[in-house]
Structure 1
Amino acid sequence: MEAPLFLQLCDLLLDRGYWEPHPTQWVGIDESVAICLLCLNYNERHRVLAERFQHSSETVDRHLRRCLRSLVRLERDLVRPIDYHIIHPRIQNKALFWPWFKGGRVAHMIPGSYEMFYLILIVPFHDYQQYYAVDTAYTNMSGFMTPFRGARGTHQERAARALFNRCHASLRNIIERTFGVLKKQFPIFKGLMHNYLMATQNNIVLTCCALHNFMCDHVPNDVYFVEEEADGALADNINPFNQMARAQQLDMSTQGIAGWNEYRRAIADHMYYHQHL
């Protein structure tokens, strides 16, 4: 991060009230943010940071956690959809996705022609159910849509399931690439974070997402973004506190899971019939 952008980030935290100066502490916002960025971008150990900034390891740890808490508040402004009512062109203009998967939601992550985001997909059947596109490690139930397993059934049923799985996998690939970009940009994700409490680990993930979006807004030609945009094109060829989408109640009962399986089957059948009209 270049010096002007670094100072802009510090000013943003101050202007929005996310950083509250402490009158008894000598470490200012610029030094705290620098400690945090070095930890995230280079996965520096606390003892190395303590030597570099000439503070105790306890001081470094305290200000790192304090800076993470401030940047997490910034995440609410930066990690969100630009507009909940806009369907991304790559979904709307691609027969593999439209109209079966009506829109991606939650957080725009990667700039360019093939934006990455964690997906909540809305399918235009029945009552517009919302769900996460997940892999087979999850149970197919309300709010979590997995691909089909196995190949039992008639030829038509197998073909419909295969078509659904292909569409589903293409969308999940965006999520996998999102994690790949974060690992490239923030080496702290490449190793284990045993030395941090779970709450701090959560803040690290959210902070990195916020910093990523902050940089892509101000440095859209960054090498990581250009590289991932090219990878996305290749894969395609083979209010600061805006209200988030309301969470839906999960139905984990046997009846609810059976109904969700039927809902998935109906989507696959509609895909198949549409393709063979």
Structure 2
Amino acid sequence: MSLDVFRALCDKLQMSYGLQPTMNVSIEEGVAMFLRICGHNEVQRDVGFRFGRTQETVQRKFFEVLRATELLACDYIKTPTRQELRRIPERLQMDRRYWPYFSGFVGAMDGVHVCVKVKPELQGMYWNRHDRTSFNIMGICDLNMLFTYVWNGAPGSCHDTAVLTMAQDSDAEFPLPPIDKYYVVDSSYPNKQGFLAPYRSSRNGVVRYHMSQFNNGPPPRKKQELFNRCHASLRSVIERTFGVWKKKWRILCEFSRYNTHFQKRVVMATMRLHNFIRISNYFDEDFAEVMEHTDISDTNSENDEGDMETTAIADGDQMANTRENIADML
């Protein structure tokens, strides 16, 4: 993060969330040690050498800053209310690629894997198809690349549809869209009420979806492919958001030194910091880089289309009609 954002973060953690300096370690130094661990995945011993502190001091300061950062949630990850979900995003109305076709859009949803250290007896539960132990984190973001909802900590072996079911069944505050609104999701999710998925290939022929298939091939050949290209472009905001988040915080992508409990806390803390940096309005190289690109090469890097669960297909008739109407408009 930039120096201006760093200073703003230190002030915020001290004034609003109770982080205090000690006799020998300032607020700025404690936060810097925390950021070295999360941003660069440095071990506490190396951070101690860098700052001239004992490993015990580094560990204590890490958890002090982690506790303060967790409190950012109230201000920086706000689950939208039903009334807020009825509003039309201003950024959507300003983009003629998607407006008025996707007028029911309220956010993009996807899952992403985060490395985690687990006990040997639990590795089977957390082992994912990329041959590592992980969480499957479900996130929702808006067009400003801000996380608006997170379901944190599902085992890496869980399919995206199963994680969504967990969130809806377990969280009374899950932000289910109003009847005429929807999240855009990829083909690992069912096309059902509140969730608009792309057309899938069928016996009638292959229907392309990934942006790389359009970038490296002929233009859309039928309305289903035209819909899929626009849908993938719109949905890519969640991929870009995940990309910036994981690029900034290497502790999420590399070997984890923390168990499931603390890694869950790290996940939420870094997501809150992601939103803090974005909302701060200071220039940020990582956000600036992805904002230059509206599409990504492949929008399904973490998911397996082939094992989509077919539950809840019966209530997908309305969304199938919505999808057909958008395709006809396009």
On whether the aligned pair clears a TM of 0.5, the verdict is yes
The Cα shift of 1:140 comes to 4.2
Name the amino acid aligned to 1:178.
T
Indicate the residue corresponding to 2:33 in structure 1: 35
- Looking at structure 1, the residues matched to 204 and 176 of structure 2 have their Cα atoms a distance apart, in angstroms, of 27
The Cα shift of 1:146 comes to 3.0
- Looking at structure 2, the residues matched to 103 and 143 of structure 1 have their Cα atoms a distance apart, in angstroms, of 10
The answer as to 2:274 corresponding to 1:212 is yes
Q: How many residues align?
A: 242
Indicate the residue corresponding to 1:76 in structure 2: 74
- Looking at structure 1, the residues matched to 269 and 321 of structure 2 have their Cα atoms a distance apart, in angstroms, of 39
Indicate the residue corresponding to 1:8 in structure 2: 8
SS in 1 for 2:313: helix
- Looking at structure 2, the residues matched to 116 and 20 of structure 1 have their Cα atoms a distance apart, in angstroms, of 27
The answer as to 2:265 corresponding to 1:203 is yes
Q: Which has the higher helix share?
A: 1
The answer as to 2:189 corresponding to 1:128 is no
- Looking at structure 1, the residues matched to 79 and 101 of structure 2 have their Cα atoms a distance apart, in angstroms, of 20
The answer as to 2:327 corresponding to 1:272 is yes
After superposition, the CA RMSD in angstroms is: 3.8
Cα deviation code 1:137-173 (max 9, x no counterpart): 334455544323223459xxx9454344233212221
The Cα shift of 1:118 comes to 5.1
The Cα shift of 1:176 comes to 1.0
After superposition, the Cα gap between the structure-2 partners of 1:221 and 1:22, relative to the gap in structure 1 and judged at 3 Å, is closer
- Looking at structure 1, the residues matched to 285 and 310 of structure 2 have their Cα atoms a distance apart, in angstroms, of 47
Indicate the residue corresponding to 1:162 in structure 2: 225
The answer as to 2:244 corresponding to 1:181 is yes
Name the amino acid aligned to 1:176.
E
Name the amino acid aligned to 2:247.
K
- Looking at structure 1, the residues matched to 194 and 59 of structure 2 have their Cα atoms a distance apart, in angstroms, of 38
Q: Which runs of 5+ in 1 are unaligned?
A: 109-113, 237-251
TM-score, normalising length: structure 1 = 0.68
Indicate the residue corresponding to 2:300 in structure 1: none
Q: Which has the higher strand share?
A: 2
Cα deviation code 1:207-255 (max 9, x no counterpart): 33333333344453332232222223xx49xxxxxxxxxxxxxxx995x
After superposition, the Cα gap between the structure-2 partners of 1:164 and 1:38, relative to the gap in structure 1 and judged at 3 Å, is same
SS in 2 for 1:104: strand
- Looking at structure 2, the residues matched to 231 and 81 of structure 1 have their Cα atoms a distance apart, in angstroms, of 27
Q: Which runs of 5+ in 2 are unaligned?
A: 108-139, 150-174, 206-220, 297-308
After superposition, the Cα gap between the structure-2 partners of 1:213 and 1:77, relative to the gap in structure 1 and judged at 3 Å, is same
- Looking at structure 2, the residues matched to 253 and 137 of structure 1 have their Cα atoms a distance apart, in angstroms, of 10
**Bigger radius of gyration, 1 or 2?**
1
SS in 1 for 2:30: helix
Name the amino acid aligned to 1:116.
M
Indicate the residue corresponding to 1:248 in structure 2: none
Name the amino acid aligned to 2:258.
Y
- Looking at structure 2, the residues matched to 94 and 123 of structure 1 have their Cα atoms a distance apart, in angstroms, of 23
Percent of aligned pairs with the same amino acid: 30
TM-score, normalising length: structure 2 = 0.59
- Looking at structure 2, the residues matched to 177 and 165 of structure 1 have their Cα atoms a distance apart, in angstroms, of 18
- Does the CA-based 8 Å contact 1:135-1:147 persist in structure 2? yes
- Does the CA-based 8 Å contact 1:183-1:190 persist in structure 2? yes
